[in-house]
């Protein structure tokens, strides 16, 4: 063997063999174990690295004659610390930077706990190629933010089920998702946000349950093996590339939901699988007694303020973005990554500074959850200029308005027009606020209008898990019912919610299956439901195809008239003097039942506004009535004849017809629990639905 080099991290093919490099700053001795195959229970070779194989915090060696497919692991020796889980040399550790993992057939999570050896049931890293994605043949779509529509989905669940029209061998895989891309393109989706595809441990769950969502990573570089078609770990990276290439060819961007804030190693009682064994105190926030500090809710919190940890996260992002071609990242509990020593929030967190300064990451879409489980919540002041945030206020305030809560009209107006109240008095810049009503954690759209409370007994935790505050309304009866009036109201409310989302200013995100009325039976935390409850709904006999048509037409409207519904520059809410010199400028005017008299009282359940062009009249009017009775509204003077394009009170498909209907009256009735949109003729005539 040769000295090797500290860079690149992980395992890299050289002209003579393979170079290995790993960070272990406080280790006294490092062993590299080479295995004959994935299921070997004893190493073929054990290479002890000498002090000459160390450069700073990194241990490295080059081994001749090795090639891709080689299986390996580490054993780390260091000073004993009774308050730490570091340095259990009996444990075989995964390289934190490995790009493939093998040994799943013999792996046992329990054997990685305690101090006994786990060599007979350990996972192993696999030496892989590290080629770059072919951007010349499959360039990034680079969809502008004002034309972006994100669709959150689960790779394993989206192509599963007998009605998915995907072959059984490809169901639940990256390749199976490729088979369903035409559906997403035809719907009008421009980006898919994939629930975690970093390799995770399905057994990281209570007894009798499997982890389905994957929000507890085992490694930050390796695609999850269950999503790979076939058993060859070397095919995983190539299949991700095939998926990304197919998405790019369809004009669809790929965004990964990434979990850098915690790992599957959990609390001090958890297994020693990788990070913990190399340097427990380096990777995880701890107090002076060695106890873990936890703002993730999962037993540990990654210390992203430290240089070696930041280096690993950045290297992971480059792996997925440059080697595998993905177009962006959504950071799970991302604000936790801004915490420094003792979990103190940092005003200028170094990780985000380095992400924003990295030229290889400069063309990506980036956004984050602005909250963590320690109570930190930074939305408009998220400490990174290029990283947008999930707008939880948008979700909560739209739900509250449409279920008829008091004191919700003013907040509804703010969310419709860009949440200026949350962004220092100005509408959120495009890309800074991601709007959503439903997501993987919480009710689906159908369940939001069908249940007043969660029904999570299937999760095996006596209904204790999942959010209790859902801002939902069952419209009179809990769960499925045969009452036609209740069903009709639910259908109308689903259209109200999703139309508001897709026609608000900002970037919208849809949840998998909401467009066909997918239900989880009131389960608002399906993290362990790898079954039809957690899968996409493909059965046409159960799908709400009228709702699907409604959503697809909404997306056509948004795409064709983006300057109205998601303008690059937000119109001011009052007509400025400069419009006397700029007669084509648009400006926003709020109304109530009378022109220019909005009712923002706590009792109000109605709101409407118009977009006006200079002094020549209105080009659009939108009305929202969450009241239990119909309301009569005066209409502003349009620039040309009004045309009704949407009225959720009408039966489908007349709620959003292929051809807009002319409206000649100077006023209009807006039915209870409904919304309505009028367009001036010059805009209505542009629509092709």
Count CB-CB contacts under 10 A for residue 664: 6
User: How far, in Å, CA of 393 to CA of 668, rounded?
Assistant: 31
Question: DSSP alpha helices (H): ranges in 275-369?
Answer: 275-283, 307-318, 350-357
Q: Is 105 exposed, middle or buried (0-12, 13-18, 19+ CB in 10 A)?
A: exposed
Q: Which one of the listed residues 179, 253, 323, 369 is annotated catalytic? A: 369
- Give catalytic status of residue 396 as yes or no: no
User: How far, in Å, CA of 463 to CA of 472, rounded?
Assistant: 17
Find residue 58's DSSP bridge partners.
23, 55
Find residue 330's DSSP bridge partners.
257, 367
Would you list the DSSP string of 388-401? EEE-HHHHHHHHHH
User: How far, in Å, CA of 644 to CA of 642, rounded?
Assistant: 7
Nearest Cα to 409, choosing from 604, 670, 588?
604
- The helix-helix angle for 484-502 and 545-560 (nearest 10°) equals 20
State how far the alpha carbon of 183 is from the alpha carbons of 101, 158, 251, 443, in Å. Answer: 32, 11, 13, 23
Count CB-CB contacts under 10 A for residue 615: 9
Strands (E), 512-655: 586-591, 606-613, 617-625, 631-634, 642-647
- Positive or negative: CA dihedral 484, 490, 496, 502: negative
| Residue whose token pair is 């873990």 | 292
Asked if 19 contacts 61 with a C-beta cutoff of 8 angstroms, the reply is: yes
**Strand, coil or helix: what is 187?**
helix
- Cα 61 to its chain centre, rounded Å, is 38
State how far the alpha carbon of 478 is from the alpha carbons of 342, 399, 448, 628, 681, in Å. Answer: 45, 17, 11, 19, 43
- The helix-helix angle for 392-402 and 484-502 (nearest 10°) equals 140
H or E segment to which residue 193 belongs: strand 191-194
Q: What angle do CA 95, 100, 104 make, to 5 degrees?
A: 95
- Give catalytic status of residue 369 as yes or no: yes
Q: Which one of the listed residues 179, 193, 257, 332 is annotated catalytic? A: 332
User: How far, in Å, CA of 335 to CA of 62, rounded?
Assistant: 38
- Positive or negative: CA dihedral 5, 8, 9, 12: negative
How many residues are present in the chain? 689
User: How far, in Å, CA of 614 to CA of 577, rounded?
Assistant: 10
Catalytic residue annotation:
332, 369
């Amino acid at each position: 063997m040769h000295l090797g080099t500290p860079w690149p991290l992980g395992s890299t093919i050289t002209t003579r063999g393979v170079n290995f490099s790993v960070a272990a700053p406080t280790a006294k001795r490092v062993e590299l174990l080479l295995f004959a195959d994935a299921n070997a229970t004893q190493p073929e070779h054990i290479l002890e690295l000498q002090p000459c194989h160390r450069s700073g915090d990194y241990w490295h060696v080059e081994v001749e004659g090795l090639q891709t497919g080689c299986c390996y692991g580490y054993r780390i020796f260091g000073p004993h610390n009774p308050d730490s889980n570091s340095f259990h040399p009996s444990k075989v550790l995964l390289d934190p930077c490995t790009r493939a993992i093998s040994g799943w057939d013999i792996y046992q999570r329990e054997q990685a706990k305690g101090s006994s050896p786990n060599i007979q049931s350990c996972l192993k890293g696999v030496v892989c190629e590290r080629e770059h994605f072919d951007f010349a043949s499959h360039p990034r779509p680079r969809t502008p933010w004002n034309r972006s529509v994100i669709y959150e989905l689960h790779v394993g669940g989206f192509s599963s089920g007998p009605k998915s029209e995907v072959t059984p061998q490809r169901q639940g895989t990256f390749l199976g998702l490729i088979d369903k891309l035409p559906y997403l393109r035809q719907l009008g989706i421009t980006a898919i946000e994939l629930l975690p595809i970093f390799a995770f441990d399905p057994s990281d769950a209570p007894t009798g349950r499997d982890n389905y969502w994957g929000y507890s990573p085992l490694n930050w570089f390796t695609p999850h093996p269950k999503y790979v078609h076939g058993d060859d770990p070397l095919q995983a990276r190539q299949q991700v590339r095939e998926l990304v290439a197919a998405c790019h060819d369809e004009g669809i961007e790929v965004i990964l939901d990434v979990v850098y804030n915690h790992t599957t190693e959990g609390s001090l009682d958890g297994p020693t699988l990788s990070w913990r064994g190399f340097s427990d105190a380096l990777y995880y926030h701890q107090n002076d007694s060695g106890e873990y500090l936890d703002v993730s809710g999962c037993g540990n919190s990654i210390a992203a303020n430290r240089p070696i940890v930041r280096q690993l996260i950045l290297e992971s992002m480059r792996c997925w973005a440059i080697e595998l071609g993905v177009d962006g990242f959504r950071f799970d509990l991302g604000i936790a990554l801004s915490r420094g020593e003792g979990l103190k929030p940092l005003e200028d967190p170094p990780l985000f500074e380095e992400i924003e300064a990295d030229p290889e990451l400069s063309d990506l879409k980036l956004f984050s959850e602005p909250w963590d489980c320690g109570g930190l919540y930074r939305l408009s002041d998220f400490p990174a200029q290029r990283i947008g945030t999930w707008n939880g206020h948008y979700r909560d305030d739209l739900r509250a308005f449409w279920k008829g809560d008091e004191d919700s009209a003013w907040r509804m107006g703010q969310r419709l027009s860009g949440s200026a109240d949350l962004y220092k008095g100005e509408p959120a810049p495009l890309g800074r606020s991601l709007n959503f009503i439903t997501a993987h954690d919480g009710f689906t759209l159908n369940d939001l209008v069908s249940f007043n409370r969660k029904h999570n007994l299937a999760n095996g935790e006596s209904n204790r898990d999942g959010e209790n505050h859902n801002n939902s309304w069952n419209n009179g009866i809990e769960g499925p019912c045969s009452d036609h009036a209740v069903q009709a109201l639910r259908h109308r409310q689903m259209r109200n919610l999703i139309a508001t989302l897709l026609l608000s200013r900002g970037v919208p995100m849809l949840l998998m299956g909401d467009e066909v009325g997918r239900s989880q039976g009131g389960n608002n935390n399906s993290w362990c439901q790898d079954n039809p409850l957690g899968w996409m709904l493909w059965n046409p006999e159960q799908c709400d195809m009228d709702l699907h048509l409604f959503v697809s037409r909404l997306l056509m409207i948004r795409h064709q008239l983006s300057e109205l519904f998601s303008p690059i520059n937000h119109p001011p809410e009052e007509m400025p003097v400069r419009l006397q010199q700029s007669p084509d400028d648009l400006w926003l005017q709020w109304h109530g039942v009378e022109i220019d008299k909005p009712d923002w009282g706590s009792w109000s359940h109605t709101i409407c506004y118009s977009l006006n062009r200079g002094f020549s009249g209105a080009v659009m009017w939108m009305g929202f009535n969450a009241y239990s009775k119909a309301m009569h509204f005066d209409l502003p003077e349009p620039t040309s004849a009004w045309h009704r394009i949407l009225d959720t009170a009408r039966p489908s498909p007349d709620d959003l017809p292929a051809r807009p209907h002319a409206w000649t009256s100077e006023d209009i009735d807006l039915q209870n629990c409904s919304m309505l949109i009028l367009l001036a003729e010059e805009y209505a005539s542009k629509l092709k639905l």
